[in-house]
Amino acid sequence: MRVVAISGGTGSAKLVRGLAAAGPFSAVANVGDDDRFHGLYVCPDVDTLTYALAGVLDAQRGWGVRGDSFAALEQLKRLGAPGTWFNIGDADMAVHLLRTAMLAEGRSLTEVTAVIASRLGVTGCDILPATDSRVATRVRTREKGELSLQEFWVREGGRPTPEGVRYEGAEAARPTEQVLERLRAAERLVIAPANPITSIMPTLSLDGFRDALRASPARKVAVSPMVGRAAYSGPAARLMEAAGLEPTSEGVARLYGDVIDAIVIDESDRAQAEAIEGLGVSCTVAPTLMRSAEDERRLARVALEA
């Protein structure tokens, strides 16, 4: 079965690892969190997927390289560099250095991502940035004005009150040809359990992406990141509320409703199944918490069969 996942970073990595155990597939990665630090082009979601599939992701943090040191960051702090609130480890920084150099030579983010993934030993999965154009997720907050996603989440610790989100550049940014080709050929499309507003919507908002999804012959299944009125981690609930959505699996089904056929929701949210089916979205109830590699593989199988 030709499988395509649409994913973010930290929240998606576990399911993406489970999908990898089931067979070859393509992962379309969010680029709305990308940012520049110390002159380096940083792609957190692309890197999180790459590290997860290469088996080097720091499981505790959910980002960066396991066991990484932070010597360069410490020196940057001593030198008074800006942006040292964003914790780039030394091994992680090597990836950003190579990426930035290759982009400066005129290679596309898609090409550079493939080179880095292959050199880190990723096999069986094409990690595809959703677009090679620049899209920036911008969070409007009550206390601090408009912030980049990393400023909102990392520098400000997610504390400012979000009032809305926009995807700067998305209307003019096209999905890459590689992404469009995978969507055309897909038999199963899985939207990973990621923050709907900051990890999935930047991709769905690209020029032509929703049309490409609708035209794809794949059965399209989302795995909800919500349990009750909260996400497993991160600011998804507050950002959904800021977007005028209920921070529940039903809210996620409403947000993706025009492009998905089915959704997998947590067993504790069984009571929402009827309302979700009422939206015309088929609903599968399953345990969605992934604590082990076996959980990751089990939930991936549920998503591939829903």
Residues 1 and 12: their CA atoms lie apart, in Å, by 20
167 binds ligand FO1 (CB under 6 A): no
| Amino acid sitting at position 205 | S
Nearer to ligand FO1, 37 or 219 (CB): 37
Paired tokens of 50: 């790459």
Q: Give me the residue label for tokens 């914790």.
A: 87
151 binds ligand FO1 (CB under 6 A): no
- Residues 74-113: x where in contact with ligand FO1 by CB under 6 A, - otherwise, as a string: ------------xxx---x---------------------
Least Å distance, CB 277 to ligand FO1, is 30
- Residues 197-226: x where in contact with ligand FO1 by CB under 6 A, - otherwise, as a string: --x---------------------------
Paired tokens of 289: 């918490």
Least Å distance, CB 278 to ligand FO1, is 31
Residues 292 and 279: their CA atoms lie apart, in Å, by 32
Contacting ligand FO1 (CB under 6 A), which of 25, 153, 209, 256?
153
Nearer to ligand FO1, 92 or 250 (CB): 92
Contacting ligand FO1 (CB under 6 A), which of 52, 57, 64, 212?
64
Residues 187 and 223: their CA atoms lie apart, in Å, by 17
Least Å distance, CB 50 to ligand FO1, is 9
Nearer to ligand FO1, 141 or 150 (CB): 150
Total chain residues near ligand FO1 (CB under 6 A): 18
250 binds ligand FO1 (CB under 6 A): no
Contacting ligand FO1 (CB under 6 A), which of 4, 20, 26, 47?
47
Paired tokens of 268: 């504790």
DSSP secondary structure, 167-208, as one string: EETGGGPPPPHHHHHHHHH-SEEEE-SS-IIIIIHHHHTSTT
Residues 165 and 146: their CA atoms lie apart, in Å, by 9
Nearer to ligand FO1, 129 or 218 (CB): 129
Question: Among residues 2, 53, 52, which one has the least CA distance to residue 25?
Answer: 2
* CB neighbour class for 80 (10 Å; exposed up to 12, middle 13-18, buried from 19): exposed
* Strand bridging mode 162-168 / 136-141: antiparallel
Nearer to ligand FO1, 95 or 281 (CB): 95
List residues binding ligand FO1 (CB under 6 A): 8-10, 33, 44-45, 47-48, 63-64, 86-88, 92, 150, 153-154, 199
